[in-house]
A and B are shown apart, each in its own frame.
Chain A
Amino acid sequence: MGELKLMKGNEALAEAAIRYGADAYFGYPITPQSEVIEYLSEQNPYERTGMVVLQAESELAAINMVYAAGAAGKRVMTSSSSPGVCLKQEGLAYIAGAEVPCVFADVVRGGPGLGTIQPSQADYFQNTKGGGNGDYRNIVLAPSSVQEMCDFVALGFDLAFKYRMAACILSDGAIGQMMEKVILPEQKARMTEEEIKAKYPWALTGRARGTQHRVITSLDLDSAKMEEHNRALQRKYKEVEANETRYEMINCEDAEYVFVAYGSSARIAQKSVQLGREAGLKVGLLRPITLWPYPTKAIDDLIKKGVKGFLSVELSCGQMIEDVRLACNGRVKAEHFGRVGGIIHTPEEVLEAMKKQIIGE
C-alpha cells in the first residue's frame, strides 16, 4: 500500500511521474496546469531520482525536446493546456510518424483561441482525431479523479513504450485543480543505460562499433516505403484498439437509457444516474476511460442488450457525440448535452436533458 495524500490533480500527475522513474519533464507554464512544472521544480527530482525538469522557451520547444529524448530511449513527459497543446501538435505528428514513446497531459480549458481558463472538454477532437498532419493516432486516457491522474501516468508510460507511440492524459481544469485523496505508488528506479539498451534496441544511445547505426525519422521519400510505413502504423493502431480499450459501466445491467460521459462530466453524470434511479428511471452510465481507442463495442453491446438511447454529456458543444453516433449507427437515438464557457453542468440539468432529449414524456 502506497502513501495516502491530499493533492491537486496536477500535483498528483507530477508526483506520479517522479515515482514512475521518469527521466525528464519538459514543459511551459499555462493555466490551469502550471502546478505540474511548479511542483516538479519544487520537489527537486534531479536530487530525488535524477529526473530532469526543464522549463522550455515554448510548448513547441518542449515537445521537440520530448521527441528527441524519447527517441533516445528515455521516459519523458510534458503537459500543457489547450492552446499550448495546439503548439505541440507539430511535435506529436513527428512522434507518431517516427514511432517515439512519450506521455503528454492536456488539462483542458475553454476555447477556441485563448478562450477561457475555466474547465472544458472541448479538446476531445484535438486529441482523439489527430491535430497534427497525417494518418495517426494517440492513445487518449481520460482520468475522472485525482487518483486516476496519478495512476494514468504509469499506464500511459507502459502503453507508450509497449506500442512506441504517444499517450495523452486528457483531463480538464476541474480535475487538474481539485484536491482529493490519492494513494501514491512506491518509488520505482529509473532505468539504467544497460537496461535501456537491452530493452529498447531502437533507442538512440550511440551505436556500438560493428553494428548498424540507428535513425529515428518520420521521413521517407520512397512512396512504396512510405505507404508500407503507413500501413504498418494502421496495423499497430488496430492492435491497440483490440487490446487496450478501457471503460467503466455504472448501473448498466438493466439500463434502458445510458449517459455517456468521461472525466469530470462522468462524475456529474454518475450523480444524475443516482437521481434518475431514485425517480424510477432505468438509467446507467458508460464512462469511456480510453477516448482513443473508443469503446465502440461497449455501446454496441448495450444496444444489443436493449438500451434505447444515449445522451453524450460533455463540457463542449458536442464532440464525443460523433463517436457515440458512429457506434449507434442510426439504430437508437443519440443526443448531446453540454455546458461550455467554463460553466459546469449540474446533475439535475443533465438528468432533465436525458428526459427531454432521449426518453420523452
Chain B
Amino acid sequence: MTVQDIIKPENLVYQKSKLLTNKPFHYCPGCGHGTVHRIIAEVLEELGVDDRTIGVSPVGCAVMAYDYFDVDFVEAAHGRAPACATGIKRVWPDKIVFSYQGDGDLAAIGTCETIHTCNRGENITMIFVNNGIYGMTGGQMAPTTLEGMKTATTPYGRKATLPAGAGFDGIPNNGYPLHITELIAHLPGTKYVTRQAVYDPAHVRNAKKAIKKAFENQINGKSGVNFVEIVSNCNSNWKMEPVAANKWLVENMLPEYPLGDIKVDGKLVEK
C-alpha cells in the first residue's frame, strides 16, 4: 500500500477547517495559538457566519492572524482591538465581530479600551490568550506574569514588592498578576465570561464549547461582551519543550488562573 492509496475521502477522519487558509502558521511548534485559531475557525464554519464576520487582530504574536482566517480582518494598533471592534459593530450591528488579543495587548497597553468596551456592553466576542509573557518582543514581563516567574525584564523573577534585606522591603516593584478576566466579569456590560485552556484534548473540547457560546450569544443577542480567556503556553519564551511547558502551565498557571465559567447569561457563577 502506498501513501496515495491511503489518501481517499472514505479514509478522512480529520481535516483543517475550511475557514483556515493554506498559509502555514508562523507560530512556534507547541504554541497554543494554532489550536485557538482552529477552534475559532471551526465555530465560525459551524455557525455559518463566515460571510458576515469581521475579525480584529492585535499587536503581538497573533498580529498576522488575518493571514490564517478566511474572513475579513482589520489589524489594530497595540491594545486598541476592542476600540476597533466597537467601531465596526456600531456601524455594522448585523455583522459578527470578534477581537483576538494577548495578555500585554489586552491587559497592559489596552486595559482602558478593554474595560470601557466591556462596560459599554458591546455585542462582540473577545478572545484573550494569556500565556503570562510577551511572546513577539522576546519574553518580557506581562501583566499576567506569575510572581517569581523569570522573564527578560524580570530576570530574577517577578517580585510584587522589593525583597527584604536591603532596607527596601515592601516597596512596590513589579506588582501582582492582573486578573483582568475576573475584573471585567464584575461589569454589567459583560454577558459571558469564561476561562479555558487548550493544553489537552479534553480542554480543547471545553474551550471550543465556550467559544461557540461566545459567538452564539453575539448572534442571538443585542448587547453584552462575550469574553473567553484561554490560558496558554509560550514554550519558546518559557524556555521549555512543548510537553514540559504544558505540564508547567497545569502546575503553575492554573492555580493562579483557575479554569471555568465566571459569568453566564449576565450572572456571576457562584463558586
* Chain A residues with a Cβ under 8 A of chain B: 23-24, 26, 52, 54, 56-58, 60-62, 64-72, 74, 76, 90-91, 94, 98, 204-209, 213-219
A98 to B76, CA, bound (A): 10
* Chain B residues with a Cβ under 8 A of chain A: 21, 50-54, 56-57, 63-64, 66-67, 69-77, 80, 83-88, 90-92, 95-96, 112-113, 116
Partner of B113, one of A54, A61, A71, A214: A61
Quick check: A24 and B83 within 8 Å, CB to CB? no
Partner of A204, one of B88, B112, B116: B88
A26 to B84, CA, bound (A): 11
A24 to B93, CA, bound (A): 13
Quick check: B112 and A65 within 8 Å, CB to CB? no
Look across to chain B and name the residue whose beta carbon is closest to the beta carbon of A54: B90
Quick check: A98 and B70 within 8 Å, CB to CB? no
Quick check: B87 and A24 within 8 Å, CB to CB? yes
> In angstroms, how far is the closest chain B Cβ from the Cβ of A153?
18
Quick check: A68 and B87 within 8 Å, CB to CB? yes
Quick check: A204 and B74 within 8 Å, CB to CB? yes
A114 to B92, CA, bound (A): 36
Write out the residue numbers on chain A whose beta carbons fall within 8 Å of the beta carbon of B54: 72, 204-206
> In angstroms, how far is the closest chain A Cβ from the Cβ of B79?
9
Write out the residue numbers on chain B whose beta carbons fall within 8 Å of the beta carbon of A71: 74, 88
Quick check: A216 and B74 within 8 Å, CB to CB? yes
A214 to B54, CA, bound (A): 9
Write out the residue numbers on chain A whose beta carbons fall within 8 Å of the beta carbon of B116: 56-57, 61
Q: Assess A67 versus B87: contact at CB under 8 Å? Given A206-B53, A207-B51.
A: yes
Partner of B87, one of A58, A69, A94, A214: A69
> In angstroms, how far is the closest chain B Cβ from the Cβ of A79?
16
Write out the residue numbers on chain B whose beta carbons fall within 8 Å of the beta carbon of A64: 76-77, 80, 83-84, 87, 113
Interface centre among A61, A67, A98 (most CB of B within 10 A): A61
Partner of A206, one of B64, B72, B83, B112: B72
A306 to B245, CA, bound (A): 77
Quick check: A206 and B95 within 8 Å, CB to CB? yes
Write out the residue numbers on chain A whose beta carbons fall within 8 Å of the beta carbon of B64: 219
Quick check: A213 and B80 within 8 Å, CB to CB? no
Quick check: B83 and A76 within 8 Å, CB to CB? no
Interface CB pairs A-B, < 8 A, 10: A52-B91, A65-B90, A71-B88, A72-B92, A74-B92, A204-B72, A205-B95, A206-B95, A217-B57, A219-B64
Write out the residue numbers on chain A whose beta carbons fall within 8 Å of the beta carbon of B56: 68
Write out the residue numbers on chain B whose beta carbons fall within 8 Å of the beta carbon of A69: 87-88, 90-91
Write out the residue numbers on chain B whose beta carbons fall within 8 Å of the beta carbon of A52: 90-91
Partner of B80, one of A54, A61, A218: A61
> In angstroms, how far is the closest chain A Cβ from the Cβ of B19?
9
Write out the residue numbers on chain A whose beta carbons fall within 8 Å of the beta carbon of B66: 215, 217
